Amino acid sequence: MLAARAHLPDGRLGPGLARLTAEIARLMDAFAAAGATAVDPPALQPADILLDLYGEDIRARAYVVRDPARGEMMLRPDFTVPVVRMHMAHGAEPARYAYAGPVWRMQEPGSPRPSEYLQAGFEIFGAPDPAQADAEVFALIRDLVGADAALVETGDMGVLAAAVEGLDTAPHRRAALRRHLWRPARFRRLLERFGAGHAAETAARAALLARVAAEGAPAVIAAAGPEIGLRGAAEVAERLARLAEEARTPPLSAEQVAGIEAVLAISAPMEAALGQLRALALPGLGPACDRIEARMEALAARGIDAAALPFATSFGRTTLEYYDGFVFGFSAPGRPDLPPVAQGGRYDRLTEALGGGRRLPAVGAIIRPEVLLAARGCPA
């Protein structure tokens, strides 16, 4: 038991450890050959930055420790955030980085998922041609995981985002949908609310909005109670105005809602999926389709049968939260008990959030060396 580590019963000792060390060296050598500089970010990361990025939910998934001088720290739940921060602070552009080491994730009691596991990763920042960089990372990871993780999935978070931006409706609705792209249940509820549910929603607010129209927002607010706390009466009045605007805005048409749902339902080989997306002829989807096509060509130029790669618009929507473009994953065939051997994607937006508004093209991927060895069926 003491020699066990994630997915490898003997991975902390003797030959089991030697195999793992050799595998990590193989991956890091390949990343170096692809031009990457090795980086080694601290295991302890400031909690504030991760909380701001992921929200309070991260507390349930990351180990929080309290440092008397530095305040709340977290054991890094991944490398991407610390590597982006290092690059934003010290890096030259364009830049390529490689890393390997443990990450920590708190799991629900009884969960078979490991709370400590290894990641070996590769990230490219600032590459001018996104299609080429996407294809390069995908091809590199595919070659490294090989036949041990031949189950491929791909997607593109930018497609749904583009469909939302293309909706002909009030800007506040697009903003609300954009904010919940990564929360499918909430996204669907909003879509319902702005569409078929709009009449019921408007009726539920009617009494309040009628009072506000008759008496004025300040009087209605003052009658409800004294102004306390940081969020002031002006902010309440502002939101009342937005609620009135939402009530006045015509509901999303059945066609608009069906369009978004059709985008979400697409799951087919990449070339066929692209054809289906183009055939939807939704406003705003053109550039997103062009990006998929350019990427498909770049993948094909690297000898990958890109047209046949499985592609789903909703792939990566719940698990890979900071990705906003191309996403992909590799899993071991016949091993649904194992997490994906590798996953990655594009995360331009994350660089903006961490770089104080400076946005940088960024794409990367991680391989889980322990899972890769387990998938290869090393003797226990």
Partner 1 sequence: MTLRIALPSKGRLQAQCIAWFAERGITIARTGGEREYAGRIEGVAGAELVLLSASEIPRALAEGAAHLGITGQDLVREQIPDWAGRLGELARLGFGRADLVLAVPAFWVDVERVEDLDAVAAAFRARHGHRLRIATKYHRLVRGFLRAHGVADYRLIDSQGATEGTVKNRAAEAIADITTTGATLRANHLKVLSDGLILASQAALFAARGARWDNDAHASLAELAGRLGLTGAAPLPD
User: Considering the rule CB under 8 A, would residue 231 count as an interface residue with partner 1?
Assistant: yes
User: Considering the rule CB under 8 A, would residue 359 count as an interface residue with partner 1?
Assistant: no
The answer to whether the beta carbons of residues 136 and 295 sit under 8 Å apart is no
The answer to whether the beta carbons of residues 371 and 340 sit under 8 Å apart is yes
Other beta carbons less than 10 A from residue 194's beta carbon? 25
Distance from C-alpha of 313 to C-alpha of 173, rounded to nearest angstrom: 21
* Residue 22: CB minimum distance to partner 1, A: 37
**Residue selected from 51, 300, 338, 353 as contacting partner 1 according to rule CB under 8 A:** 51
* Residue 189: CB minimum distance to partner 1, A: 7
Question: 95-104 and 37-38: which strand pairing?
Answer: parallel
Q: How big is the CA angle at 135 (ends 129 and 141), to the nearest 5 degrees?
A: 135
Distance from C-alpha of 311 to C-alpha of 127, rounded to nearest angstrom: 24
User: Considering the rule CB under 8 A, would residue 287 count as an interface residue with partner 1?
Assistant: no
Q: By C-beta, is 38 or 222 nearer to partner 1? A: 222
């091993």: which residue's tokens? 335
**# binding residues, partner 1 (CB under 8 A):** 37
Q: How big is the CA angle at 172 (ends 171 and 176), to the nearest 5 degrees?
A: 120
Q: By C-beta, is 9 or 46 nearer to partner 1? A: 46
**Residue selected from 139, 208, 272, 294 as contacting partner 1 according to rule CB under 8 A:** 208
Distance from C-alpha of 103 to C-alpha of 328, rounded to nearest angstrom: 20
* Residue 9: CB minimum distance to partner 1, A: 24
User: Considering the rule CB under 8 A, would residue 189 count as an interface residue with partner 1?
Assistant: yes
Sole window of 30-38, 226-234, 262-270, 301-309 interacting with partner 1 (rule: CB under 8 A):
226-234
Other beta carbons less than 10 A from residue 239's beta carbon? 12
Mask for 313-352, x = binds partner 1 (CB under 8 A)? ----------------------------------------
Mask for 155-184, x = binds partner 1 (CB under 8 A)? --------------------xx--xx--x-
Residue ranges in 234-263 that form contacts with partner 1 under rule CB under 8 A: 235-236, 238-240, 243
The answer to whether the beta carbons of residues 141 and 259 sit under 8 Å apart is no
User: Considering the rule CB under 8 A, would residue 207 count as an interface residue with partner 1?
Assistant: no
């770089």: which residue's tokens? 355
Rama region for 146: left / alpha / beta (φ>0; ψ in -120 to 50; rest): left
Residue ranges in 96-125 that form contacts with partner 1 under rule CB under 8 A: 108-110
Distance from C-alpha of 360 to C-alpha of 206, rounded to nearest angstrom: 45
Q: By C-beta, is 238 or 297 nearer to partner 1? A: 238
Torsion of CA 91, 92, 96, 102, to 10 degrees: -10
Q: By C-beta, is 33 or 175 nearer to partner 1? A: 175
Contacting residues toward partner 1, per CB under 8 A: 51-52, 55-57, 59-60, 108-110, 175-176, 179-180, 183, 185-186, 189, 208, 220-222, 224-231, 233, 235-236, 238-240, 243
